[in-house]
Amino acid sequence: MRGLEIIRTYERVFREESWRLGVPSIDWEDGVVLQSLAFSSAGRGVVVDLGAGAGYSTLWLLAGMADSCGKRCRLIAIERNRGRASVAERLLSEIPVDNVRVEVVVGDALKVLEELRGVGLAFIDIDKGSYSEALGLLEEKLTPEGLAAFHNALAPPPPPGFMEKASKHPWKSTIIPTDQGLLVARLAEQ
């Protein structure tokens, strides 16, 4: 139950640091869903947090992975703002986990995603206008069992066309009705 202990010990610190930096962060219930997705996806490929901010959503992903990874798994937090990424890296390095390698990458999330292979889970919380492009990239990056979770599926709504694209072949998707909503998508079986 390391994940529960991680949340109990570090959640408040990450949340307060996000607030201090003016970083909008996911709600608690979104975090619980992310922890669950990470638990079920760990070991199926790299887990990525696109738009990690100060690491609040990354913390929830790490909590799920800590309980599920039998061997060393990989979690990549991508943030374009160097100051936010620095805070995320500092805070994440304080969490004692030996079965998850956490990397913080400073850069444009889509450009970093272009270079990745074998993504088992991607949490996307970047500029909403880039959601369709991220979905297109993930079509080539996800493992066969991989999942993509897009924040703000309900509020504020994603740009026109994104929901339709996420619900057409080759995608299957559902919306988890948290306050802000999470659209979870996977590639349809061929």
4-44 pLDDT per residue, tens: 999 999 999 999 999 999 999 999 999 999 999 999 998 89
Which is nearest to 109 in space by CA: 121, 93, 127, 91? 127
Domain count, the chain: 1
**Side-chain half-sphere exposure of 77, counting CA atoms within 13 A:** 29
- What pLDDT band is residue 74 in, cutting at 50, 70 and 90? very high
Question: Residue 86 is part of a domain; what is its CATH number?
Answer: 3.40.50.150
60-64: average pLDDT? 98
The domain of 147 spans: 2-187
pLDDT at residue 133, rounded to an integer: 97
pLDDT at residue 61, rounded to an integer: 98
Rg (CA), the chain: 15
pLDDT at 190 over 60: no
Identify the H or E element spanning 52. none
85-109 pLDDT per residue, tens: 999 999 999 999 999 999 999 999 9
Alpha-carbon span 100 to 98, nearest angstrom:
6
143-180 pLDDT per residue, tens: 999 999 999 999 998 999 999 999 999 999 999 999 99
Alpha-carbon span 7 to 157, nearest angstrom:
28
Which is more confident, 71 or 11?
11
Q: Which token pair is 30? A: 């979104």
Q: Which token pair is 190? A: 């061929």
Which is nearest to 2 in space by CA: 26, 38, 52, 33? 38
pLDDT at residue 162, rounded to an integer: 97
Q: Can you point out the beta strands (E) in the chain?
A: 46-50, 73-79, 100-106, 119-124, 142-151, 171-176, 182-187
Distances (CA, A) of 57 to 18, 33, 64: 10, 11, 11
Q: Which token pair is 137? A: 């990239």
Cβ–Cβ under 8 Å, residues 57 and 123: yes
113-131: average pLDDT? 97
Which is nearest to 84 in space by CA: 17, 169, 153? 17
123-144: average pLDDT? 97
pLDDT at residue 71, rounded to an integer: 81
- Token pair 């936010």 in the structure block, residue: 84
